[in-house]
């Protein structure tokens, strides 16, 4: 069974390091020359499973991870509305989440807000306990946390301080919110216990561990959800509306299921209900070496398949708003898609009325 990439979003309190961690994840490469690094999508980056396996080769044995997902698709905008408040629309978007918590500062209002959203959406998540390099005396270095976490590399006082901060600032708060949680290397049953992965977005410590844990969780819990629907039409969500030179208003979207072709119809929610527009082009970012003119950043694709980020060029997109559900369908399926989209929009209205 072919699986698609799980969609991963990063949430957490402001300044706890979401942007820095994403940058570090995006720069995950084994060596500069190695082929198959990170593929840039619209609004997302795809990290192939081979890259994950290589950076975490020392860890795979530990977790007995048998990974057959093609990679992970990480949303570039941390805490994007479409993945937080608008995610309440009920549209399945992020398959899995990374909740970033500063291990020195602990839980803050937006940490709790993020957890409530994840709970409500039943999105599995791991906690990235960030800024371990700032634990007094901690000797932080790039690479797996698990190889750095021992008396040979750390002063006993730093080890003690780490345990205190891990418990007081992270695990205790998760317990209070009803979650069992532990340091990932001590977790025996991932169906019951939240994995806490210590990381440093500054040194890169723990990033391999984080990528393996995310991949392993996705593989184990989402296999059915990730079965690639090669027959079906594309389902997605609007990330944002962008004006592009020569194209006018375009939609940046994440496609989480199915397949889309140029010439299909876009069916997307808008404040009046639903809008239908004939697609002019499905655009992907050009590789840097293909980009002769910096204004000419995109190239058209005849067909795209989930999970992917895409820029949609079509007429009359002005009324579309971020977070709206969308479908890309052949003409004979427009009516069915309209109903589906309307249903999703209504679900959202009911939810917000309750709040
Ligand atoms: P965001 O608001 O959650 O996206 O947080 P940022 O990524 O912008 O980080 C906030 C501040 O914390 C910035 O000054 C970062 O350089 C710093 N920072 C982020 N991660 C780390 C880390 O792991 N270690 C240290 N020492 N600083 C960090």
Instruction: Please list every protein residue whose CB sits less than 6 Å from any atom of ligand 1.
Output: 12, 14-20, 78, 130-131, 133-134, 200-202
Q: Any residues with CB less than 8 A from the CB of 169 and at least 6 apart, and which?
A: 101, 102, 103, 104, 105, 106, 107, 129
- Taking CA atoms only, the protein residue closest to ligand 1 atom 16 is 20
Q: How far apart are CA 213 and CA 161, in angstroms?
A: 24
Q: Quote the tokens at residue 16.
A: 């706890």
Task: Provide the pLDDT for residue 231.
Answer: 72
Amino acid 36: pLDDT: 55
Give the nearest ligand 1 atom to 12 CA. 3
Q: Where are the alpha helices (DSSP H) in 56-127?
A: 60-63, 109-121
Q: Whose CA is nearest to atom 19 of ligand 1?
A: 17
Residue 345 and residue 325 in contact, taking contact as beta carbons nearer than 8 Å: yes
Residue with CA nearest ligand 1 atom 17:
17
Please tell me the distance from the alpha carbon of residue 175 to that of residue 326, in angstroms, as a whole number: 37
How many C-beta neighbours within 10 Å does residue 191 have?
A: 8
Task: Give 197-218 as a DSSP string.
Answer: EE--TTT-BTHHHHHHHHHHHH
CA distance 321 to 88: 15
Measured in angstroms, how far is the CA atom of residue 206 from the centroid of ligand 1?
15
- Residue 322's pLDDT is what? 83
CB 42 within 8 A of CB 285: yes
Tell me the best of 15, 25, 101, 132 to mutate to test the pocket of ligand 1, counting ligand atoms within 8 Å of each CB and taking the most. 15
Q: Which two tokens stand for residue 225?
A: 């959800």
Atom of ligand 1 nearest to the CA of 23: 7
Q: Cis (ω within 30 of 0) for the bond into 307?
A: yes
> Which atom of ligand 1 is the closest one to the Cα of 130?
23
Which residues have C-beta within 8 Å of that of residue 178, sequence separation ≥ 6? none
Coil, helix or strand at residue 343? helix
| Greatest pairwise CA separation for the chain in angstroms | 68
Number of other CB atoms surrounding residue 22 within 10 Å: 20
Question: Which ranges constitute the DSSP H helices of the chain?
Answer: 18-26, 49-55, 60-63, 109-121, 156-165, 172-176, 207-221, 334-354
**Contact assessment for residue 11 and residue 84, using Cβ atoms and an 8 Å cutoff:** yes
Residues facing 98 on adjacent strands: 10, 126
Short-list 348, 288, 279, 340, CA closest to 312: 279
Which has the closest alpha carbon to 103: 30, 195, 197? 197
Q: Which structure tokens are listed for 297? A: 């950043």
Three-state DSSP state, 75 = strand
Ligand 1 atom closest to 14 (CA): 2
Torsion of CA 229, 82, 130, 108, to 10 degrees: -140
Instruction: Give the integer Cα–Cα distance in Å for 140 and 154.
Output: 9
pTM of the model: 0.89
What is the rounded distance in angstroms from the CA atom of residue 347 to the CA atom of residue 340? 11
Instruction: Please tell me the distance from the alpha carbon of residue 352 to that of residue 355, in angstroms, as a whole number.
Output: 5
Whether complex ipTM tops 0.95: yes
- Residue whose CA is at the smallest distance from ligand 1 atom 2: 15
Sorted by sequence, the CB contacts under 8 Å of residue 47 that are 6+ apart come out as 25, 28, 38, 71, 72, 74, 211
Tokens representing 185? Answer: 């290397």
- Residue 88 and residue 94: Cα distance in Å, rounded? 12
Rounded distance from Cα 155 to ligand 1 centre (Å):
24
Distance from residue 240's CA to the centre of ligand 1 (Å): 25
Q: Over its length of 355 residues, how does the chain's per-residue pLDDT go in tens digits?
A: 788 899 998 989 999 999 999 999 987 765 444 445 667 778 888 898 988 988 888 887 766 667 889 999 998 877 665 555 444 444 447 889 999 999 999 999 999 988 988 888 788 999 999 999 999 999 999 999 999 999 999 999 999 999 999 999 999 999 999 999 999 999 998 889 999 999 999 999 999 999 999 999 998 888 888 887 767 899 998 988 999 988 999 999 999 889 999 999 999 988 888 999 999 999 998 876 665 666 678 899 999 999 999 999 999 999 998 888 899 999 999 999 999 999 887 765 544 444 4
């Amino acid at each position: 069974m072919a699986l698609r990439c799980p969609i991963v979003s990063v949430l957490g309190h402001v300044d706890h390091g979401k942007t820095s961690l994403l940058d570090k994840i995006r720069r995950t490469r084994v060596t500069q020359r190695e082929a198959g690094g990170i593929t840039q999508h619209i609004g997302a980056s795809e990290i192939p499973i081979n890259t994950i396996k290589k950076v975490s080769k020392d860890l795979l044995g530990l977790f007995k991870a048998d990974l057959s997902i093609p990679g992970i698709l990480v949303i570039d905008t941390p805490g994007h509305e479409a993945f937080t408040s608008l995610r309440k629309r009920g549209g399945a978007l992020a398959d899995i989440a990374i909740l970033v918590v500063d291990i020195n500062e602990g839980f803050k209002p937006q940490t709790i807000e993020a957890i409530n959203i994840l709970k409500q959406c039943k999105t599995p998540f791991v906690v990235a306990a960030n800024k371990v390099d700032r634990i007094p005396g901690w000797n932080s270095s790039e690479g797996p946390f698990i190889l750095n976490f021992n008396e040979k590399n750390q002063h006993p006082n730093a080890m003690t301080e780490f345990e205190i901060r891990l418990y007081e600032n992270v695990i205790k708060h998760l317990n209070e919110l009803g979650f069992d949680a532990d340091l990932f290397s001590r977790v025996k049953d991932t169906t019951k216990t939240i994995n806490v992965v210590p990381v440093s977005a500054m040194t890169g410590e723990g990033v391999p561990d984080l990528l393996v844990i995310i991949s392993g969780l996705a593989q184990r819990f989402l296999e059915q959800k990730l079965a690639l629907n090669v027959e079906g039409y594309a389902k997605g969500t609007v990330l944002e509306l962008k004006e592009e030179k020569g194209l006018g208003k375009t939609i940046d979207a994440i496609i989480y299921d199915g397949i889309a072709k140029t010439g299909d119809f876009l069916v997307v929610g808008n404040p009046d209900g639903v809008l239908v527009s004939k697609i002019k082009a499905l655009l992907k970012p050009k590789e840097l070496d293909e980009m002769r003119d910096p204004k000419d950043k995109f190239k058209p694709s005849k067909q795209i398949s989930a999970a992917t980020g895409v820029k949609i060029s079509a007429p009359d997109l002005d009324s579309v708003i971020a977070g709206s559900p969308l479908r890309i369908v052949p003409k004979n399926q427009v009516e069915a898609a309209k109903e589906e989209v309307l249903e999703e929009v209504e679900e959202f209205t009911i939810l917000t009325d309750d709040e």
